[in-house]
Amino acid sequence: MSDIAALKTEKQELIDKMLDMQKQFIAYEHENGVSGKDYWASDEGLLANYRQEYIDMANRVVDLAHEIVGSVR
């Protein structure tokens, strides 16, 4: 597998995981409701570190996309 193919695979895996996280969040929100405090500062369950993990993945996806096409962020 070429470096570009490996980068594309990693990018797609991250996107798939992000979509799964969104589905889980929506289901959780529908079942339990989510307060601002839960979203921003939860220390347990699905929402613990949710925001930071999602942000980190989103930034990595952007970095991969730039690396794949040879551009700079």
Please tell me the distance from the alpha carbon of residue 17 to that of residue 54, in angstroms, as a whole number: 9
* The model's pTM: 0.87
- What is the residue range of 54's domain? 3-69
Radius of gyration of the chain, Cα coordinates, nearest whole angstrom = 15
Helices (H) and strands (E) in the chain, counts: 3, 0
Q: Which of 16-20, 21-25, 35-39 has the weakest average pLDDT?
A: 35-39
Instruction: For residue 1, name the pLDDT band (cuts at 50, 70, 90).
Output: low
Q: Could you give the number of structural domains in the chain?
A: 1
User: Would the CA dihedral through 41, 45, 49, 51 be positive or negative?
Assistant: negative
Mean pLDDT of 54-63: 98
Q: What are the tens digits of pLDDT across the range 26-36? A: 999 999 999 98
Please tell me the distance from the alpha carbon of residue 35 to that of residue 42, in angstroms, as a whole number: 10
Mean pLDDT of 56-69: 97
